[in-house]
Amino acid sequence: MVDASTIQLIAHCMDWAKHRRRKAAAKLHLRLNLQNWLPSFVIIDKAKDHDSSLAQQLCAALKAGQIVLFDKASMDFGHLFELNNRGMFWVTRAKDNMQVRCVKKCLEKIERPDPT
């Protein structure tokens, strides 16, 4: 699972962490191993950057066949396409304003046995 959380800091304590006019914050970008519930990769950076900006670094060590879960804030179609080409699977929720068009259905109808 890949996610990011903003951590509020005391204003003016760190110049690199300026978030807004009078606020300071850092952002924790995390890749969580869902088998043991432990972080497997962490980046702490300034909070100004969008969640999707470091998703490629978080996913760099993943291997083909693995599944990545993303928050919809990490939606970057170029990155998702790259993961697909590397043989990985990904799951995310669609953004409310996302416009999509189905170009191909990949699932076939599954025949279910007659219950009698």
Question: How does pLDDT run across 13-63, given as a tens digit for each residue?
Answer: 666 666 556 677 888 888 888 788 888 888 888 777 777 777 888 888 888
Q: How many domains does the chain have?
A: 1
> Average of pLDDT values for 74-80?
82
27 within some domain: yes
113 within some domain: no
34 within some domain: yes
39 within some domain: yes
User: Which domain covers residue 29, as residue numbers?
Assistant: 2-91
105 within some domain: no
Instruction: Lowest mean pLDDT of 1-10, 54-63, 76-85, 102-111, name the range.
Output: 102-111
114 within some domain: no
How far is Cα 27 from Cα 56, in angstroms, rounded to an integer? 16
Question: pTM for the full model?
Answer: 0.64
> Average of pLDDT values for 93-107?
81
Categorize the per-residue pLDDT at 77 as very low, low, confident or very high, splitting at 50, 70 and 90. Answer: confident
Sort residue 3 into left (φ over 0), alpha (ψ -120 to 50) or beta: beta
107 within some domain: no
Mean pLDDT score of the chain: 79
Q: What is residue 87's predicted lDDT score, i.e. its pLDDT?
A: 93
